[in-house]
Amino acid sequence: MSLLSLRVDPDPVLCRPAQPVARVDEEIRRLAQDMIETMYANDGIGLAAPQVGRDLQLFVASPTRERGRELVVVNPVLEAARGRNSIVEGCLSVPQVWEKVPRATWVRLRGLDGTGTPFALETEGLLAIVLQHETDHLQGRLFLDRLPWWHRRRLPRLTRRRACA
């Protein structure tokens, strides 16, 4: 296993919708394991493939930070979302910035797991927020893009100006 280097805003790979994974093979499984190690090494609870420079619809998450309980999600689709929730979020691609982001409370997500098996997950709380944050990454969106304009205006200029904006 190896640690991967993180891409940081304004890297253009963070702006593009990622490509669907054609097949969950050994290479994808290895990438997911490396992403899990990289996420833990950087004290993250989620990490999407574009954040390590890979243009693929893949993310890993571990809101409880429990070893062996990580979620590997391939080609995710957020099918439904309900309610309003917000917590202070950070992102490994946006260092030193923490902001309260409007999100849904409850989501239903469909995708493939780390073995390529289809699954659907209905969840709320922190996991629901992580799923929304990571799915956003795969659409080329950062949590900064979810902030209301009056809130974005207060951010430092460099944080506000994204390469893809």
Q: How far is the CB of 117 from Ni ion (least distance, A)?
A: 25
Residue 91 or residue 104: which is nearer to Ni ion going by CB? 91
Whole-angstrom Cα distance, residue 155 to residue 150? 10
HSE value, Cβ hemisphere, 13 Å, CA-based, for 25 = 4
Residue 52 or residue 91: which is nearer to Ni ion going by CB? 91
Residues 78-89: b if buried by 16+ CB within 10 A, e if exposed = beebeeebeeeb
134 catalytic? Reply is yes
Q: How far is the CB of 72 from Ni ion (least distance, A)?
A: 16
Residue 95 or residue 118: which is nearer to Ni ion going by CB? 95
Q: How far is the CB of 23 from Ni ion (least distance, A)?
A: 26
Is residue 44 within 8 A of residue 25, CB to CB? The reply is: no
Q: How far is the CB of 115 from Ni ion (least distance, A)?
A: 25
Residue 36 or residue 91: which is nearer to Ni ion going by CB? 91
Nearest residue relative to Ni ion (C-beta): 91
96-100: long-range pairs with CB below 8 Å, 24+: 97/144, 97/155, 97/159, 99/143, 99/144, 99/147, 99/151, 99/155
- Per-residue CA distances from 106 to 30, 65, 80, 86 (Å): 30, 21, 8, 12
Binding site for Ni ion (CB under 5 A): 91
Active site residue ranges: 134
